[in-house]
Every structure is written in structure tokens, then in C-alpha cells.
């Protein structure tokens, strides 16, 4: 996000790869330095310690995801126009599809997310990311609009946003095992479809 020097972004790129491949604990800062073509001291000079390096790499990766989705779903258009044109449910489908396709191409970023959750007990991912992706209200706002437009049933937006994010998270984390990332788009699409339309034959919408 902030201006990164050339050296810093090269280190960060390499760090993402190495941390994704080896995991946080297993990764050797020396290896990162070597692959980035700098001295180990340089890595420490710029990022302080291994932990901060990891966090920076993780943040960096996640911001790229957010930027990618935004570009994919909204592009240069006005978000409201897009929403008006395609409707809330299609918007959700597009977001999910964009998500899935990103991680299909870069499954390493999933490992980064998992490492962060495992080591630091912080999930950089779900809702927060979406928030950023929308640059305002975020997912909750999207659900809010959908309800106002009569496209979605009435729910509290918070829990629904959580549920959506949790589902994506679960799909991506479990879908990226043993090369399963190749089927990520289908896996996510199926989940989203159920999420939107429900599994049961006779919905109790009118309850």
C-alpha cells in the first residue's frame, strides 16, 4: 500500500513465495535474502524481524487479492452502476468467482493466510478483506443494499457477511489441498449457489 522501495518489494515477493512454500517457522530468512539477491542484514534492516517480514508479506499478498477482485468485479465503473446492472446475487457470484480464480492461480497465497491464522491467531482474511475490496461499507453494505432492493431476505448483515466469508474461506482452504486448487472455481460456485438458493426443497422464506 505505502510506497515500497524496489528492494523492499523484491524481498516481499520472494518472502511470499518462501513462506507459502515452507511455512512461517520452516522458512529460513537466509534463503529469502539469497533468492531476493540481497544480504540477510538488508532484510532485517527493512523489516525488523522475521515476524514483521511475514506480516508484511501476508498483508502485501492480501492487498493484491483485494485489488484483483475489485478490478475484476468493478473495474473502472461505478460500483453502484455495476450493482444496478447485474443485481446483488450475481454480484456475489462474481466476487466469489473472482476469488476462486485468483487462488486457483496463486494457491500459495492461501498457505500464507493459513500460516497467519496458525502462527498469529489472526485471520487477515475474510470480512476485513472484503471491506477493503469495496472501499466502503464492504460486504455488509452489499448485503444491506440487496435487502433494500428486495433481492435478499431480511437478515442481520453482520452474521450474513460472516457466513459468506466463512464459506469462501473454508472452500478455499480445503479446496487447495493436494492440487485440488484446479477445481476451486467449481467448488466455490457450488457453495455459493447453495448459499444463495438454499439446499432445501421447500424454503421457509415465508415463515
Partner DNA sequence: CATGAATGAGTTTTCATTCAT
Partner DNA sequence: TATGAATGAAAACTCATTCAT
**Quick one: CA dihedral 154, 129, 65, 83, positive or negative?**
positive
* Nearest Cα residue to 106 out of 68, 160, 51: 68
Work out which of 30, 49, 85, 122 binds its own copies, going by CB under 8 A.
122
Q: In angstroms, give the least distance from the CB of 124 to DNA.
A: 20
- Using the minimum distance from each CB to DNA, give the nearer residue, 50 or 60: 50
**Which listed option, DNA, its own copies, none, makes contact with residue 86 (CB within 5 to 8 Å by class)?**
none
Work out which of 52, 85, 174, 182 binds its own copies, going by CB under 8 A.
174
42-to-1, 51, 101, 119, 191 alpha-carbon distances in Å: 21, 15, 35, 24, 45
Region of 37-45, 66-74, 76-84, 124-132 interacting with DNA (CB under 7 A):
37-45
Instruction: Please return the burial class of 27, using the count of CB atoms within 10 Å of its CB with bins 0-12, 13-18 and 19+.
Output: buried
- Using the minimum distance from each CB to DNA, give the nearer residue, 29 or 82: 29
Q: In angstroms, give the least distance from the CB of 43 to DNA.
A: 8
Q: Is 39 in the site for its own copies (CB under 8 A)?
A: no
x/- letters, 71..110, toward DNA (CB under 7 A): ----------------------------------------
CB atoms within 10 A of CB 38: 18
Q: Is 191 in the site for its own copies (CB under 8 A)?
A: yes
CA distance 117 to 54: 12
Q: What is the dihedral of CA 79, 82, 84, 86, to 10 degrees?
A: -140
Amino acid at each position: 500500500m505505502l510506497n515500497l522501495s524496489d528492494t523492499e518489494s523484491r524481498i516481499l515477493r520472494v518472502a511470499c513465495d518462501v513462506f507459502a512454500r515452507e511455512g512461517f517457522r520452516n522458512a529460513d530468512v537466509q534463503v529469502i535474502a539469497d533468492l531476493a539477491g540481497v544480504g540477510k542484514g538488508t532484510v532485517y534492516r527493512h523489516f525488523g524481524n522475521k515476524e514483521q517480514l511475514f506480516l508484511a508479506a501476508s498483508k502485501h499478498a492480501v492487498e493484491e487479492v483485494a485489488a484483483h477482485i475489485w478490478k475484476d468485479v468493478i473495474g473502472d465503473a461505478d460500483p453502484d452502476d455495476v450493482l444496478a446492472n447485474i443485481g446483488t446475487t450475481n454480484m456475489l457470484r462474481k466476487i466469489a468467482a473472482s476469488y476462486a480464480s485468483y487462488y486457483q492461480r496463486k494457491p500459495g497465497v492461501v498457505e500464507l493466510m493459513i500460516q497467519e491464522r496458525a502462527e498469529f491467531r489472526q485471520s487477515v482474511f475474510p470480512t476485513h478483506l472484503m471491506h477493503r475490496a469495496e472501499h466502503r461499507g464492504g460486504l455488509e453494505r452489499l448485503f444491506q443494499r440487496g435487502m433494500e432492493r428486495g433481492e435478499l431476505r431480511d437478515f442481520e448483515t453482520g452474521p450474513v457477511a460472516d457466513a459468506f466469508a466463512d464459506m469462501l474461506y473454508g472452500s478455499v482452504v480445503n479446496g487447495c489441498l493436494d492440487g485440488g486448487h484446479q477445481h476451486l472455481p467449481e467448488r466455490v460456485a457450488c457453495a455459493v449457489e447453495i448459499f444463495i438458493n438454499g439446499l432445501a426443497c421447500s424454503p421457509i422464506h415465508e415463515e
